[in-house]
Amino acid sequence: MRGFLQLLRQQAPLLGFGALFCFTSSFGQTFFIAVFGGAIRAEFGLGHGSFGAAYSIATLASAITLIWLGKLVDRMETARLTALVVVGLAVAALFMSFAAGMVTLAIAFYGLRLFGQGMSTHIAISTMAKRFAAARGRAISIATMGIAGSEVVMPPLAVLALDFGWRWGWRAFALVLVLAILPLLTGLLRRADRHPVVEEAAIGTPPPPVPSRRQSEVLRDWRFWLLLPGLLSSSILVTGIFFHHVHIVEAKGWSLGLFAATFTVYALGAVVSSLSSGWLVDKLGAKRPLIVFPLILAWGCLLLAASDAFIAGILMMLLFGIVSGGQSTTTSALWAELYGTEHIGAIRSLAMAVMVFGSAVSPIIFGAVFDLDISVEALAVASAIYATLAGMLFIPALRQPKAQTRAD
């Protein structure tokens, strides 16, 4: 803990920039947008399927765009790119407030997903990975606290906005982004630039430096493709369960209001896991901690399958939070360890695009499964099997010494 406090004292502006930008991503995150789903569907007369299709198509388009746009982290001044992304997110929020049908709704979703979930977290985490080395894991974990904080703060704020009308809510969000969040982000970045990072001693044995690889080289590396199924598992399974949580809660006989409160448990698990993982990454490297997360995810799915007791739902959300916080921190550090930091923006954008793709298709897949009258329990068991098998692929992908060899 002392190491975290010392790091915060030394680099508070830079870490604050990362945490605030991660918090800002909530305007494009599923847990926030989904709160407005009922009001939007009611106004436009949309069913669950058509609403989910618009959201998934927009998310897929944002994932494709992110592969290209994410490279700007390596090429453009951080302050300038930050301003462009926040303004883009504000425009998307304003566009959402004037949506008039499926097409304009999908365009608004596209902007929110691209500039919110995509670019906001991408800039924040890539900046931490680039500017820190010995404290990279802790810096990333502190930055991702912004996401955990938003999971607690933003859903109630969205509910409050609904009381004033969902359109006026999104207009207010656009103003907050431009008038409050953008000045704060640029101010923190200016202060950080006046105090460059002076690295402290590593708390463990630092991983040996590796040559920086380009995105095209990563695509030819067999390790990247073996890692993807396991890294995708949480994006696919957790997003699918969250998106269809109303149906799951009804099938289990749980209270929707009580289940909504478990997102606090989820956020708590994410916070503890992210901070612990950051410390472990700096001490052991990213490879060893990463292996456990698909197994934890599988246990969460098995809890959903095994019991209708509400305590199972609480424990499931805790385990999902542990996976979300820990895997995000560990994976972000892993790319730097495997492929260097010179092109980290391009590499993270490629990986993030794949994750976003997973979060886009999972609502469709889960919805189709439920439409076939397949039970929640059967789907949960299948999800646990997938997470376990995908996680096993981490072992050959991260085995030494091949993890240090150059891609063919």
Q: What is the mean pLDDT of residues 319-339?
A: 86
- This prediction has a pTM of 0.77
The letter for the amino acid at 404 is Q
pLDDT confidence tier of residue 40, bands split at 50, 70 and 90? confident
* 340-374 per-position pLDDT tens digit: 877 878 888 888 788 878 877 887 788 888 888 88
Q: What is the 3-state secondary structure (H, E, C) of 139-158?
A: HHHHHCHHHHHHHHHHHHHH
- Domain annotation for the chain: domains and CATH numbers: 11-399 (1.20.1250.20)
Q: For the residues 307-312, what does the mean pLDDT come to?
A: 92
- Which of 24-38, 129-143, 179-193, 265-279 has the weakest average pLDDT? 129-143
pLDDT digits (tens, 9 = 90+) for 386-407: 999 999 998 888 876 543 444 4
pLDDT at 307 over 50: yes
Model confidence over 137-193: pLDDT tens digits?
888 888 888 887 888 888 888 888 888 889 999 999 999 999 999 999 999 999 888
Using the predicted structure, report yes or no on whether residue 5 has a pLDDT greater than 50: yes
Residue bearing the bigger pLDDT, 383 or 52 = 383
Query: pLDDT value at position 245?
Result: 82
pLDDT value of position 263: 81
The pLDDT-based confidence of 87 (bands split at 50, 70, 90) is very high
**Average pLDDT of the segment spanning 298-314:** 94
pLDDT (0 to 100) of residue 196: 65
- pLDDT of residue 381 exceeding 90, the answer is yes
